[in-house]
A and B are shown apart, each in its own frame.
Chain A
Amino acid sequence: MQTRTVTIVNEAGFHIRPAQLVSEKASAYESTILIKPEGTTNEANAKSILNLMTLGLAKGAVVHIEAEGSDEQEAVDAISQLVESGFGEA
């Protein structure tokens, strides 16, 4: 299992567009990928837009990206990069 901790950086937080981007990216990997917000017991399946949106993450929120499977390293790298780049938004 691979884990990385990242922070949500974009102004509008984790709304429908980031959710779509993450779920599309995550679905390309074989591993199970979970997003766990810091300080809660919530977890979301990164391949599910609905799961991701209902996390209600705002700018500044800290999350752990956890991947388990044959391509877990690539999966964690890719999703982290996406989050840290602010999903291409201002």
Chain B
Amino acid sequence: MKAQETERRFKGLGVSEGIRIGHAFVYRPLKLEDIQESRADSPERELERLEQAKAACIAELGELIERAKTTVGEEKATILKGQASFLNDPAFYPPMQALVRTEGWSAETAVLRTVGQVAAIFESMASDYMRERAADVRDVGRRLMACLVGDQGASLADIREEVIIVADDLTPSDTVQLDKRYVLGFVTRVGGKTSHTAILAQSLGIAAVLGAGGGIDQIRHGMKLAIDGSSGECIVEPDEETLRSYESKRQSELQESERLKAFGDKPATTKDGFRVEIAANIGTPEEAEGLAERGAEAVGLYRTEFLFMSVSKMPSEDVQYEAYRQAVESMQGRPVVIRTLDIGGDKELPYLDLPEEMNPFLGYRAIRLCLDRKELFLTQLRAIIRAGAHGPVKIMFPMISGLEEWRAAKALYEEARTQLAEEGAKIGEGIEVGIMIEIPSAALLADRFAKEVDFFSIGTNDLVQYTVAVDRMNEKVAELYDYFHPSVIRLIKQVIDASNKSGKWTGMCGSMAGDPLAAPLLVGLGLHEWSMSPASIPKVKAAVASLDREDCVRLAERLLELDTPGEIRAELEAYLTRI
């Protein structure tokens, strides 16, 4: 009898590389839709059950709020506090009691009906913000129902051993409960490369297979799984042969990881002594922790948007200051480049009251928004300048399209400094102020900008989209999106050359910087600072260490003569296999 018979395989999208073997932790939070309506014999008994469930639910929320305060901060705990206050609301709980008492419904039915009615009221309101509160109502309803039903369905907060988490989907309010030490990997039914789960997995360096569909239905709690975060393959109850093969792949992976770690401490220098600064991209202050150990010499991009998202009101100057300060202090003397608010109508920010636009990516966003709302911008600038008192800080403005914008932004920066100085506040000195190059108009004017800015940071993600006129999320045209497009490379060269002429530096914070395949080209063009996801740092450092700058300069010249992205990639691949 072959053991193969118990093994089952299925495939999903590999979004975060890694081979992992472990036991499944099936996370299946209770769905309200699963509950059937029913009547009950004893209303007194149902009322008692309801009361106990409510108490348990409030206690559970209390614990989660405490935990959230230490893991993700007060602001995020606000969502949970809001839920707790619904439970005590006269329009939420008393109607449930009434349904039990006067109509003889079971406690479950009372919860189901009341939650449905209240959520429906929110859903019928005109503002997007109010409609979204319906989700909060359903969320707390689900929690109450779970307490009522005695659903001992596994809670993520209880995980105390290494597991592979299997779920339909994982939201930020789910993953906030995880103790990262115990998570080997994620397998989910839905989701893709840009999901929250994918981004989290990449930044933690764990394996993830998303969009696995119905494949996950065959996994029961505790079953052994082997997953490959690159190919997207998942094996349930792997047989001995499969296990051996996966274990050996895992061993190679660990060895490679060790080898790369050796580069971690050292600066990235080519064989002939050309040194580049390797930095990390972060979205939250927590991500700055431990970056030095992972080989980052600096933070090349701190995306400040996350502070403004998932909160119900504008973060105050002090809230922002605390966050920026935390990031700066975590870096212990290494520079942090903070990008001012880069957001627009594609993201929901109710308190900003953004207009609906036909083309949000060509519209009222980022620096345009900030220059129009001076108070908002000044608040952020002040918070950054104050954080600069705790360590080296640099500021960059996103989506700059012309010199006027840059000059206006710089003037506001000076105004913020003056205000703070007059108030006698402790502020950072010698703060470099630069711009993102992501719009072709700025790249084409790099020589003019270079005279006025302190540095450039090339945002290849958006630069490619605007230059080649392609939306990389649009499946029909996504193939056109390639940072090896000859036009993009010309622009990159133009920017670096312009900065050199004026004695300024150029960095890159788009995903091209973290691609080892691009390393020979970027070394050849003389890019000074490379900022990437922390997970990419070891590979890129290893790549740089294997290169000879002189040779790369000649390679870059050859690449600039080629016509298509395909040819450029092929040439780079051939080059890397030769050396």
Contact = CB atoms under 8 A, between A and B. Distances in A.
B129 interface: yes
Contacts of A45: 90-91
A56 to B, nearest CB: 5
A20 B86 CA distance: 10
Of the listed residues B86, B89, B312, B350, the one surrounded by the most CB atoms of chain A closer than 10 A to its CB is: B89
Interface string A42-59: 000101111101101000
B351 interface: yes
B160 interface: no
A59 to B, nearest CB: 11
Interface in A18-77: 20, 23, 45, 47-51, 53-54, 56
Contacts of A54: 121-122, 125, 130
B89 A56 contact: no
Contacts of B127: 56
B85 A49 contact: yes
Contacts of B122: 53-54
A50 B130 contact: no
A47 B90 contact: yes
A12 interface: yes
Contact of B313 (A17, A50, A51, A53): A17
A45 B88 CA distance: 13
A51 B91 contact: yes
Contacts of A23: 85, 89
Given A12-B351, A16-B82, A20-B82, A50 B89 contact: yes
A50 B125 contact: no
Given A15-B129, A53-B122, A56-B127, A48 B91 contact: yes
Contact of B350 (A15, A49, A56): A15
Nearest to B127: A56
Interface in B127-156: 127, 129-130, 133, 137
B361 interface: no
B27 interface: no
B91 A50 contact: yes
Contacts of A89: 313
Contacts, number: 50
Contacts of B121: 50, 54
Contacts of B350: 12, 15
A49 B86 contact: yes
A53 B86 contact: no
B118 interface: yes
B308 interface: no
Contact of B89 (A15, A16, A17, A48): A48
A53 B37 CA distance: 28
A48 B90 contact: yes
B557 to A, nearest CB: 56
B130 A49 contact: no
Contacts of A49: 85-86, 89, 91
Contacts of A51: 89-91
Nearest to B137: A50
B79 to A, nearest CB: 10
A71 B398 CA distance: 55
B91 A56 contact: no
Contacts of B91: 45, 48-51
A89 B127 CA distance: 20
B126 interface: yes
Contacts of B118: 50
23 contacts: A12-B350, A12-B351, A15-B351, A16-B82, A16-B312, A17-B312, A17-B313, A45-B90, A45-B91, A48-B89, A48-B90, A48-B91, A49-B85, A49-B86, A49-B89, A49-B91, A50-B118, A50-B121, A51-B90, A53-B122, A53-B130, A56-B130, A89-B313
Interface of A: 12, 15-17, 20, 23, 45, 47-51, 53-54, 56, 89
